Amino acid sequence: MSRLIAAIDDTVEVEYGQFVLQEVSMSRNALGLPVPTGSWTAVGGAGGLLLHSSATDHYPTVRVELWDGTPPGDERSGWAEVLELTCDLATEVRLQSVTATFGEHTLQIPRPGVHHVRAAVGNQSDTAELGEGSFETGVERWLIQLWPV
């Protein structure tokens, strides 16, 4: 059975409808990941994750978990959307706005390299109703689970 290694509970400023889970070293920038055409929620790649919110100018709550294997259970219930993807991470990550305002916490990655990601987002319809510049906190919520490939 898989074991939870570490977790952080944080918030981040969403700007331009986006935020990132970014390597602290910033030698590879998740903001440079290619964005798909049309509607999208998350993109993973070298340096972390680029995440798309349902609104701009607000502060979602985000929990990032690091597991030693596939997390148990079905995390799909209670979430508006759940995605499975991968990203390549160095030794430490944190949440970051697109203009480099950092989250308060960092998460150590003991096995750098490619990781599976399960990204779940909730309350998107409520978030979409937020006006630009609302700076509301905690309306949108995210769960990002990472485990090595």
Q: How confident is the model at residue 65 (pLDDT cuts 50, 70, 90)?
A: very high
Task: Give me the phi and psi of 125, to 5 degrees please.
Answer: -65, -40
Q: What is the mean pLDDT of residues 87-104?
A: 96
Average pLDDT of the chain? 93
Given CATH 2.60.34.30, say whether it is the number of domain 4-148.
Answer: yes
Q: Does position 139 have pLDDT exceeding 70, yes or no?
A: yes
Within 13 Å, how many C-alpha atoms sit on residue 95's CB side?
A: 25
If you ran DSSP here, which 8-state letter would residue 27 be given?
S
Q: Does position 74 have pLDDT exceeding 80, yes or no?
A: no
Q: What is the mean pLDDT of residues 23-34?
A: 95
Q: For the chain, which residues make up each domain, given as ranges?
A: 4-148
Q: How confident is the model at residue 77 (pLDDT cuts 50, 70, 90)?
A: confident
